Amino acid sequence: MKLTKEDILNIDKYLIKKGIKYIDIRYELIDHLVTEYQSMEHYPDLESFLRKRTAWCRVIAEKRANSIHWGYQKSLLKRVLSFFKTPPFYGVLLVWLSILISIKAEYGSVLMNNSMFWVFIGVVLFQYVDMIFWGIRSKKESKMLSISTLINIYSLPNIFMYVVGILESIFQTHPNCATLYFTIALIVNIAALIEVQTKRKRGLKEYEFLKSSMV
């Protein structure tokens, strides 16, 4: 027995009522529930079936939340590595290094590294603004990607900001280390922004899929 579009949306609404708010987790549960229901030889009432699976859904949702951290860190690292496989990246990197060399020649290493630091802080602040803005958008859009997911993706890149104070003395005596550090920090943080946007687009497609032709 194939479930109708209305049945799928009713499952979605049921999961929301049970406290599973975000579609990046809900979508996986719906996919499993639909497959399981449609493979049964004797089809129970859909609502009864969902009631029996409620506890399981909550356990899976909790496990998903607990495991999501390392999964997204892995995807972020893959995103960073993908930069180095893209020829335009080296063009951008060359322009960046040329600007740094020009600043260093004109104003010295200290100003160059200070400039890099503030560019880095600007990117980090943009991430925080992005999380806040995402949280107050329309209900449909804000549920494409949970705030916890955003925090997980941004947590690794933000470590660079927290470590700056510890490495300050090293940066003062070895300015080239600071240049390398902030360049890597910018690459990782920009990769995080791109990864978040990619996951949002995928979440939107999944949402539209639920609305239109899931089965």
Give residue-wise pLDDT tens across range 74-126: 888 999 999 999 999 999 999 999 999 999 999 998 899 899 999 999 999 99
Print the SS3 string covering the chain: CCCCHHHHHHHHHHHHHCCCCCHHHHHHHHHHHHHHHHCCCCCCCHHHHHHHHHHHHHHHHHHHHHHHHHHHHHHHHHHHHHHCCCHHHHHHHHHHHHHHHHHHHHHCHHHHHHHHHHHHHHHHHHHHHHHHHHHCCCHHHHCCCCHHHHHHHHHHHHHHHHHHHHHHHHHHHCHHHHHHHHHHHHHHHHHHHHHHHHHHHHHHHHHHHHHCCCC
One-letter amino acid of 59: V
Mean pLDDT, rounded, of the chain: 82
Read off the pTM. Answer: 0.70
Top-confidence range, 127-136, 149-158, 187-196, 205-214: 187-196
The domain segmentation of the chain, as residue ranges, is 5-67, 69-210
Q: Is the pLDDT of residue 160 over 80?
A: yes
What is the predicted pLDDT for the residue at 127? 86
